[in-house]
Structure 1
Amino acid sequence: MRKALSAASLMMLMGLAQANEGQWQPYQMPQIADKLKQSGISIAAEDLADLTQYPMNAVVGLGYCTASFVSPKGLVVTNHHCAYRAIQYNSRKQHNYMRDGFLANTMGAEVHAGPSERLYVTESVTDVSDKVRSNLPEDPLLRYRALEDNRKALIAECEADENYRCSVPSFHSGLEYYLIKQLIIRDVRLVYAPPKSVGAFGGDIDNYEYPRHAGDFTFLRAYVGKDGKPAAYSEDNVPYVPKSYLKVNAKGVSAGDGVLVAGYPGATQRYRRASELKFSKEWLYPTQAARYQRQLDTIAEMSKDNEEVAIKYAGSVASMANRMKKLNGLMDGFRATDIVGIKQQQQAEFAKWAQKDHADVLVEVEKLEQLLAQKRDRQQTDHYFENAQSSALLKTAMNLYRWALEKQKPDAERELGFQQRDQKMFTARLKRLDTSFDAKVDKALWQMDIEAYLAQDHRVPEFDALLEENTEVPLGERLEALYALSSLRDQQARLDWMNKDVAEFESSADPFIRAAVSLYPVIEKQERLEKTLWGELSKARPAYMKAIIAFNKEQGKPVYPDANRTLRISYGTVDGYRSADALYKQPFTKLEGIVAKHKGQEPFNAPSRLLEVIAKGDMGEHKVEQVYPNRQSWMCRFISCNDAQPSFNSVPVNFLSSVDTTGGNSGSPILNGKGELVGLNFDSTYEAITKDWFFNEEITRAIHVDIRYILWMMDKVDNAHNLLDELELVK
């Protein structure tokens, strides 16, 4: 086993290696302009800060991934795994696009990506901290409600035009709030997706690993009404004309080049306390990983000889497998590096700093730790209780009943997620259930979660009482009866429930509706406890973060908010890394690596057409002679050098860089120093997974699809010349 790197050793590294750390808000780019120039980024920092200008106005969100416009006709490129839902939505036994891939040779052949697919174009980000945090009461529950009311008022004003979606996320744990205004594009279509054997070549085995050879890309297109405004899917809609679109640099990048990534990273915890990390390391992550493994095993067994089930759960399986491997990587990373020790040492230095001139801060820290202890207890209870409600039909029933309850209130007083603004997406989710649900699989997964709940001590008495009904009948049979008797398996029945009032729910004979009504009081009670705790933390966290920011600035450390699914920019260098003793991983992989890995069966089963083109040596203008032009200044850090430079003579498939990314950055455009598209982010290396908690520049690398491989696939393998003609290629 590799010896764990001590906290003291890592703290020494931290002082030397922070150049590429930071998931920066766009407005912060001028603050680091000198660092951008040092990294070879020539595009002006002021241009990166301006969301109305190229290239930032070409970067869009999917709600869970990132994408970017690449043509004046609304063509969008993202990862294959980010488009799973769109590919799955259109796959059937007779045309399995997951297995075979999809290409529309004309716009008329492009297919609807699904009722819940959206593109979000961020148009403005405004600091509203004073408006959100003004006149807050001391009572924690009232404080929570006041914060929510202030945010909802800002959102309602921003969404006066129904074509926009607005949000007010917190930054630095509630110290700051920003109003995010995004144009919503509701008609998204699938244009071109390679087969899964290309997009996910290597499957779960290669997930987070390197060297990598995945063609993780897919093209979508944004459509709007004939008036140019966002509209629901209609055959009469026309392609959206973006304000700008990314130029595509067909020459790509070389080792040592500076690069940027722009996207919507999900969540990091770099400013969290050591006690929070310790809890995640010792309880939360192992518990979550074990559950994912049970779910994956069950779905694999039930879909083994059932292609229809396999298609329905393809997206869920990919998502769970990715999360499980990430959790395992986090746990392995914690064993290899004493990050808890690093956090504790950082906190000791912070405490020493505070004792000099900020002693009151230490009192606030003690209050925060007491609240975090309460939070950990709540997390354990919530984890098992929420999982025990995991049936897709039960969750649907609960959401429908909550919708009926919230409808009784004025719209401004409803819970977020149940306001009038949410109706279209709520309806879309009800419709989409048909494409990702199988009663037998859902029941099997739910039963496992209930059994896990019953086997532990964090119980909810009201839920126990519900489970104790008819205990003379085995649990599996009781659950099966619920599915047999429920009307919620029918899409129209689900949609009809949206228009019913509370009394109709409370008199319903549908078993899932009855369960939802019975459980609501305890769920409401649990929510009240969580909101009260959140209200307490909304005082303690910002006070702590204000002190942490002051401390970090004095230490010369980068100060940027933890990721929270808002638009961020990171910069770095195309670079390999030393993954273990005597093992250096070079930054580029090539076509020949696909052939070397190919075994003729999943997950290393490359399409025959791709293998044939490689065998012919048909690389065309996408072939690269050299990707290591500055060998003396770059690779000689790790191996002995001479004047001879290693030739490449192939098409680059994937490459590494030191940009700072996390989940949500999937599909993010990788830009060269001029702001031109050179690749797509799609993964991190296994050693880098712990970067959500701690950024170590020596081993933190992100994995990208090289634009030259994408262009080669379009040109030589899939004959997507209609799409190539749309791109603005820089050669």
Structure 2
Amino acid sequence: MVSRRIVILQIIIRKSSIMKTLRLLFIFLSVPLFAQQGGMWIPSLLEGMNESEMTNLGMKMTAKDIYDVNNASLKDAVPHFNGGCTSEVISNQGLLLTNHHCGYSQIQSHSSLENDYLEDGFWAMNLKEELPNPGVTATFIVKIEDVTTKIMDGITAAMSEAEKQKKIEQNIANVTQTSPKEAYQENRVRTFYEGNQYMLFVVETYKDIRLVGAPPSSIGKFGSDTDNWIWPRHTGDFSLFRIYADKNNRPAEYSKDNVPFTPKHFLPISLDGVAENDFTLVFGFPGTTDEYLPSIAIEQVINTINPARIAIRDAALAIQDKYMRADPQIKIQYASKFARIANYWKKWRGETLGLTKSNAVGIKKQQETALTSEINKKGKQQEYGQILPQFEKHYTEIEPYSLAREYYVETVLRNVELLRIAYQTYQLKQAYENRGAQSFEDRRNNLIERAESHYKDYSKQVDEEVFEALIALYVKNVQPQFLPDFFKNLNAQSLTNSVYKKSAFVDFASLKNLLEGDAETVMAKLNNDPGFQVVSDMADAYNEKVAPKYEELKLSISGLERDYMKALLELSPKDARIFPNANSTLRVTYGKVAGYSPADAVYYEPVTHLEGVMQKYIPGDYEFDVPQKLIDLYKAKDYGQYGENGKMPINFIGTNHTTGGNSGSPAIDAYGNLIGLNFDRVWEGTMSDYYYDPALSRNIMVDIRYVLFIMDKYAGATNLIKELKLVHPKKEIGKSKKKKKKK
């Protein structure tokens, strides 16, 4: 365990002053025995340390094979899927592979009681059967360039934090507008190392993405919420889409005249499978991590923020689950929403357990002590000496505001659907008051268009019960000074009855009628609607009593984080492995296939098989039911070329450092071939967004052979199998070695 190694190291340090320079490296980074694993690295900067580490782990490629501006490389096969997940191109006709849960909303949107693709799966047997998905995108990275000098131009130490941020924003806008690109490309500037580095990304976004294939939820979501974040896992979490382009292979909106996209590179697929200690590279767009937060921030996550988030979603999920189990129509309507809410609810629970178990707070305090020692040793007290005391002050002050913000966001913007729609009309009112009638017209039309789709999957009965439960929690747990005045003596049941009997937000026809008329007429009708009154009072109270102070303190904390990161970069040993936090930009993480031991006398093997599905099988259960055809294939051991030693591998785990956004990321072998599809992390390691512990942190991947088995033997989609390039790199290497020996 990391914490035990630190204790041993401290004893050595006390005995030898020669070891002082190693103290910061070992205590701060906390990964002395796993120095080649963990981290989310910028692909354009892999040459040097990262390339050496990957080679030592068994990689046979070069850094240029992964990222190259002038030649096709792995980056050209890994697009950002719809802004939230990762995907990979697996054929020369733009066939796109991602997770089932990443394509879940699209699968659901095409489903009905008559054609329930969630229940039965969907497979297009030719191009004409592929289904369009308006609004879905696939974004490729064309080029990455360091523009730190340009972004920091004109920044001085004498500036206030607000002045610095304003100047930085101006510089970002200028670089974005003036940097060269093609007309169909886009420039984006992103910050790294908490504002100590800035990178320009040139991207191409394709907008005609069609659904090609998806297994039934009994395969693609097997284990559902019970198994989510859990190992061992037995889930075929994949779906297939296709990118379409115009006749010049460039991005275009949907058109029947568009043609399948021809990629610069697509991933060959290895049929050789995986074994313990095999090299794994996961390429993707991890969302957000905070690996360098101070100990007091982690304490707040454990003791204040996560408990609030979990309690709110506990209540919402229990109500939704009750209705979904009783009504097939509600089950379809709420399937995607329930999965989205449950995903991070369970993650936060595991995260809290992992942070506690790994002693993350204690380790970070040791790191802070070591950094303070280094600051004093180098005479940097004036520059960095007040950072940690200021962290303590600001985090203590922001805590009640952060708690109030979490309750507001989780209640109004995420979990009560009536409030979420009503909040959009609150924004409509603000647009009218601040920008006039034209802005009102534009927003109203967009709102009505979005709302029509929303109400297709809305149940007044479900939402009413969620509203009552969450408003009661809001009143109970948000400090009184942050509440709307009428909340202070509120009866949640009485308010709920009034809102859901009288508000126009309970169905689409009423809402559409509410929004008809000129701006003044609509505003008058809104102000008389009880649903709008509730959200308006809640939003006004938040915007007046919580947001200003929260944003003020958050800005100060952001400045401290930048200076803290600068201190770490400056004062850590030259070979320290300090990687930038995730920010939804393209990253590489590398490691090995490996089991782990989460508790005394417990060891988890790194690979699961179809036998495990049958052991978990519960007929008729919505989480653990199994299609009859899969049972028949299992009994016959009819695995085709995809099985191994009479068994069908399903999932495997590795030491790759992943997070949300890495869903759908390709797992790539030492030679650049696809071996799996990332989709989750283990329960014990979900704290890796704040603290990566190599003893516990494991990412979970679908074995690509299971994906092919389902496509081929289960679905009969041989038309798709024929598109793929299937290879045997291990066997080919073995043959080459034998030939050399004969010579």
Question: Normalising TM by the smaller chain, what interval?
Answer: 0.7 to 0.9
Query: Are residue 394 (structure 1) and residue 419 (structure 2) matched?
Result: yes
2:468–2:492 CA contact under 8 A, matched in 1? no
Whether contact under 8 Å (2:666, 2:678) holds in the other structure is yes
CA distance in 1, matches of 2:39, 2:445: 36
Partner of 2:57: 39
2:568 is aligned with what amino acid? I
- In 1, the alpha carbon distance for the partners of 2:492 and 2:315 equals 26
Partner-residue secondary structure (3-state), 2:385: helix
Aligned to 2:200: 179
Q: What is the Cα deviation at residue 285 of structure 1?
A: 1.2
Secondary structure at 1:341 match in 2: helix
Q: Secondary structure at the match of 1:346?
A: helix
Task: Give the C-alpha shift of residue 275 in structure 1.
Answer: 0.3
Q: Is the 8 A contact 1:575 1:657 kept in 2?
A: yes
Q: Report the more deviating stretch, 297-306 or 118-127.
A: 118-127
* Aligned position for 1:630: none
1:179-578 to 2 correspondence within 5 Å? 179-226=200-247, 228-357=249-378, 358-360=380-382, 361-390=384-413, 391-402=416-427, 405=430, 429-430=450-451, 432-459=453-480, 464-465=484-485, 467=487, 474-484=494-504, 504-505=522-523, 508=526, 511=529, 512-513=531-532, 521-525=540-544, 526-554=546-574, 556-578=575-597
Matches within 5 A, 1:593-612: 593-602=612-621, 603-612=623-632
Measured after TM superposition, the shift of residue 589 of structure 1 is 1.6
Q: What corresponds to 1:110 in structure 2? A: 130
- Tell me the CA shift for residue 541 of structure 1: 1.7
8 Å contact 1:589–1:654 — kept in the other structure?
A: yes
SS in structure 2 at match of 1:179: strand
Q: Equivalent of 1:89, from 69, 87, 109? A: 109
* Distance in 1 between residues matched to 2:497 and 2:356, nearest whole Å: 43
Pair 1:252–1:492, CA change in 2 (3 A): farther
Residues 1:517 and 1:619: Cα distance change in structure 2 (over 3 Å): closer
CA gap of 1:232–1:443, structure 2 versus 1, over 3 A, is farther
Q: 1:470 to 1:218 in 2, by over 3 A?
A: closer
SS in 2 for 1:16: coil
Point out the more displaced range, 578-587 or 258-267: 578-587
One-letter amino acid matched to 2:393: Q
Residue 687 of structure 2 aligns with an amino acid whose one-letter code is T
Equivalents in 2 of 1:457, 1:605: separation in Å?
41
Identity across aligned pairs (percent)? Answer: 28
Native 8 Å contact 1:7 1:337 kept in 2: no
For residues 545 and 249 of structure 1, the distance between their equivalents in structure 2, rounded to whole angstroms, comes to 40
Number of the residue aligned with 2:706: 709
Q: CA deviation at 1:139?
A: 4.2
State whether structure 2 residue 716 is matched by structure 1 residue 719: yes
Return the TM-score normalized by structure 1. Answer: 0.87
2:141 aligned with 1:122: yes
Describe how 1:11-30 pairs up with structure 2 within 5 A. 14-30=31-47
Cα deviation 1:412-450 (Å, max 9, x = unaligned):
xx9xxx9x9x99998875454234432332232233222
1:688 matched residue in structure 2 = 685
- Contact residue 453 and residue 459 of structure 1 kept, 8 A: no
- 1:628 is aligned to none
Q: Distance in 2 between matches of 1:615 and 1:430?
A: 47
Residue pair 2:663, 2:679 contacting (<8 A) in 1 also: yes
Match of 2:638 in 1: 618
Residues 374-383 or 294-303, more deviating: 374-383
> 2:656 is matched with which residue?
659
TM-score, normalised by the number of residues in structure 2: 0.85
Q: 1:169 to 1:393 in 2, by over 3 A?
A: farther
Query: What residue in structure 1 maps to residue 77 of structure 2?
Result: 58
* 2:309–2:406 CA contact under 8 A, matched in 1: no
Change (3 A) 1:680 1:425: farther
SS across alignment from 1:82: coil
In structure 2, how many angstroms separate the alpha carbons of the residues matched to 1:135 and 1:719?
62
In structure 1, C-alpha distance between the alignment counterparts of 2:92 and 2:361, rounded to whole Å: 49
> Does the C-alpha gap of structure 1 residues 466 and 502 become closer, same or farther in structure 2, counting only changes over 3 Å?
farther
Q: Kindly state the Cα deviation for residue 476 of structure 1 after the two structures are TM-superposed.
A: 1.6
Distance 1:339 1:303, change over 3 A: same
User: Take 2:231 and 2:263, find their aligned partners in 1: how far apart are those partners?
Assistant: 35
- Which stretch of structure 1 is more off in the superposition, 439-448 or 520-529? 520-529
CA distance in 2 between counterparts of 1:558 and 1:425 reads 47
State the distance in 2 between where 1:424 and 1:55 align: 41
Aligned-pair CA distance for 1:147: 4.0
Offset at 1:152?
4.4
Preserved contact between residue 186 and residue 202 of structure 2 (Cα < 8 Å): yes
CA distance, structure 1, for counterparts of residue 664 and residue 159 of structure 2: 43
Q: Superposition RMSD on alpha carbons, in Å?
A: 3.4
Amino acid at match of 1:442: D
Write out per-residue CA displacement over residues 438-487 of structure 1, whole angstroms, 9 at most, x where no aligned residue: 233223223322211111242455x5235479979911212213534677
- Secondary structure, counterpart of 2:46 in structure 1: helix
User: For residue 571 of structure 1, what is the amino acid of its counterpart?
Assistant: Y
Specify the SS of the correspondent of 2:364.
helix
Contact 1:201/1:213 (8 A) holds in 2: yes
Partner SS state of residue 578, structure 1: strand
CA contact (8 A) 1:6 1:341 kept: no
8 Å CA contact 1:434, 1:491 repeated in 2: no
CA distance in 2, matches of 1:164, 1:406: 30
* Cross-structure match for 1:671: 668
Change (3 A) 1:192 1:427: farther
Deviation of 1:617 (Å): 1.5
C-alpha distance in structure 2 between counterparts of 1:324 and 1:130, whole Å: 41
Conserved in 2, the CA contact under 8 Å of 1:486 and 1:510?
no
Aligned to 2:87: 67
Three-state SS of the structure 2 residue aligned to 1:292 is helix
CA shift for structure 1 position 681? 0.6
Residue type at the aligned position of 1:378: Y
- Aligned in 2, Cα 1:730/1:398: closer, same or farther, shift over 3 Å? same
What SS class does the counterpart of residue 664 from structure 1 fall into? coil
Of 400-409 and 128-137, more deviation after overlay is shown by: 400-409
Query: Does the 8 A contact of 2:500 with 2:506 survive in 1?
Result: no
Q: Distance in 1 between matches of 2:636 and 2:492?
A: 68
1:15 alignment partner AA: P
Q: CA 1:428–1:487 in structure 2 vs 1: closer, same or farther (change >3 Å)?
A: closer
CA drift at 1:405: 4.5
Structure 1 residue ranges without an equivalent (≥5): 626-648
